[in-house]
Copies of this chain bind each other. A is one copy, B any other.
Amino acid sequence: MEDKEKNEIVVLRLSHRKNRDKRVTTHVALVARAFSAKKCFYAGDKDEELEKRIKKVVEKWGGYFRIEYSKNWKALLKELKNEDYFIVHLTMYGIPIQNLIEKIKNKEKIVVIVGSEKVPREVYDLADCNLAITNQPHSEIAALAIFLDRIFDSTELYKEFENAKIRIIPSKRGKKVWQKSD
């Protein structure tokens, strides 16, 4: 079984540093999952703890999201390009999202690149599109969320995850959850 969003989106997180980026990369991967991306590749340091953390979330909260280490992100991008993925690089230096989003929405398969602090020049060149979510400094986590929200026309807010062991029952105050009995 697979998720059935119209667009197939994978995320590529560049230059993950095991200690320094632990939480930020975790947020990137969790946003990717919650906002309907299929998969998050990450490059930089291989990080078993990160992978475990994300896999546990999927096991508990459902869906088919995967995280995968990419030893050679350039080779990965070439491969994805050959498979007809459209490459979007999120950067504050790029073209404002509002100018391009309608065109990008037509692409069936998209890889969205989320950099860390220093992004190699090659990324700007390899990308089909360098896209800015505002031209102000803020957060790659926020940029990814807004991008995915636009691509999926906010349908991610209604997404239900299959095979969940736990689900939140929205409530005005406090915490209500439904848990699958074993």
Contact = CB atoms under 8 A, between A and B. Distances in A.
Interface of A: prevailing SS:
mixed
B130 A98 contact: no
Give the size category of A's interface with B. 35 or more
This protein's copies in its complex: 2
Contact of A135 (B96, B121, B138, B167): B167
A113 interface: no
Interface in A149-165: 149, 154, 156-159, 161
Interface string A140-179: 0110111001000010111101000001101111111000
B157 A134 contact: yes
Interface stretch (A4-12, A23-31, A68-76): A23-31
